[in-house]
Amino acid sequence: MSDFTVSIVSVALFCVVAYLMARHGAARRLRRLQQEYGAENVFFSRVDQSYIALDPTKKRVALSGRGGSSSTGTSMGVYDFAQISSAEIVSNGTTLARVSRTEEVGSPSTALLSRPAAAEINSESMRHVGLRVNVNDSVYPTFLIQFVYEAIPSTEKPAAEERPELTALRSFYDRLRTAIRQTEAVSAEAGLSAASPSGPCIVSIVSARNTIDAINAIRRLRPDLDLVSARNLVESMPAVVMTGVDPQEAERLRNSLALQGIGVSII
């Protein structure tokens, strides 16, 4: 067997192993979310592994997704309902329905039936439909959860109302609308930290722009944690990282971690 053949086989095996590990990680993350939030309160995208999970009892939402249609980075975080500023249904980068505390534009039922004009459709036309959630977080304010990514038939009208993903999208949009309208807004600072504590603090992570960077940052703060423990901590946000921290040191940690794309709560 030539060196070139060996190289090709090695690359192929590496890709297969990486794919299987990613699938396993996604399945494990989905199980954790369903156990914590309940299967009926979780949507996990098969398109890009973005997700949304609602906790009606504790009034919080767990989010993971890209920052927008043009963003290449993926973030994750857990937020109180009061930190949600708006929610939007977007299709191919265009907002079809939007709700905030001050206005509501469009209808999800009408929006989900939208499709490009016939003249714009060709054999390569794709339809992207997602839920964009904007939160009061200076570190990572926007999450895009992808519900649909499909080719658009050039002749047949897609049965949009029958798609389970779109039914789920409408349901989560309606539930976010209720959360936004019925909850008093808070600022990012109020959501992440109460009044400045005078005694020992508890430092928790609540959001992260990049999972790998967050894991590495946590391991630098907590050398006692191995890779698996640090990863489990990041994936179970909000999670306590340190206790009994001096208030000034806690504030320094918050600023340092914010530069690394990590949101911190101090109590």
Q: Let me know whether 167 and 243 are in one domain.
A: no
The reply to whether 103 falls in a domain is yes
Q: Which residue has the tokens 């807004």?
A: 185
Is residue 231 located within the same domain as residue 111?
A: no
Question: Is there a contact between 140 and 75 (Cβ–Cβ < 8 Å)?
Answer: yes
Both 163 and 245 in a single domain? Answer: no
Tell me, yes or no, whether 148 and 242 share the same domain.
no
The pLDDT, as a whole number, for residue 7 is 63
Q: What is the CATH number of the domain that holds 235?
A: 3.30.1390.10
57-89, pLDDT tens digit by residue?
Answer: 988 898 988 875 444 567 888 888 988 999 999
Strand residues in the chain grouped as ranges (E): 42-44, 51-55, 60-66, 74-80, 84-91, 94-100, 104-105, 126-135, 142-151, 201-208, 239-245, 262-266
State whether 157 and 251 are in the same domain: no
Convert the pLDDT of each residue in 173-211 to its tens digit. 999 999 998 876 654 444 444 445 567 888 888 888 778
Work out the pLDDT band at 213, boundaries 50, 70, 90.
confident
Task: Tell me: do 159 and 201 sit in the same domain.
Answer: no
The residue segments making up the domain with residue 205 are 193-266
Helix (H, G, I), strand (E, B) or coil at 254: helix
d(CA 78, CA 207): 6
User: CA torsion sign, 225 to 194 to 258 to 66?
Assistant: positive
pLDDT at position 165 over 50: yes
**∠ CA 72-137-241 to the nearest 5 degrees?**
95
For residue 68, is it within any domain? Answer: yes
Mean per-residue pLDDT of the chain? 77
Is 188:79 a contact under the CB 8 Å cutoff? no
CA 232 – CA 216 distance, rounded (Å): 12
Say if residue 156 is in the same domain as residue 232: no
Angstrom distance (rounded) from CA 63 to CA 113: 25
Q: Are 203 and 264 in contact (CB under 8 A)?
A: yes
- Tell whether 203 and 101 lie within a shared domain: no
**Prediction pTM value:** 0.68
Residue 146, in any domain of the structure: yes
Question: Is 187 within a domain?
Answer: no
112 and 30: one domain? yes
Calculate the alpha carbon distances from 216 to 112, 207, 234, 249, 257 in Å. 40, 14, 10, 19, 11
Whether pLDDT at 52 is above 90: yes
Domain final residue pick, 161, 182, 203:
182
Query: How many CA atoms lie less than 13 Å away from 152 in the CB half-sphere?
Result: 19
Parallel, antiparallel or unpaired: strands 74-80 and 42-44: unpaired
Q: How many domains is the chain built from?
A: 2
Nearest to 217 by CA among 264, 255, 257, 265: 257
Of 210, 128, 236, 113, the C-alpha closest to 167 is 113
Helix 211-221 to helix 227-235 angle (10° resolution) is 120
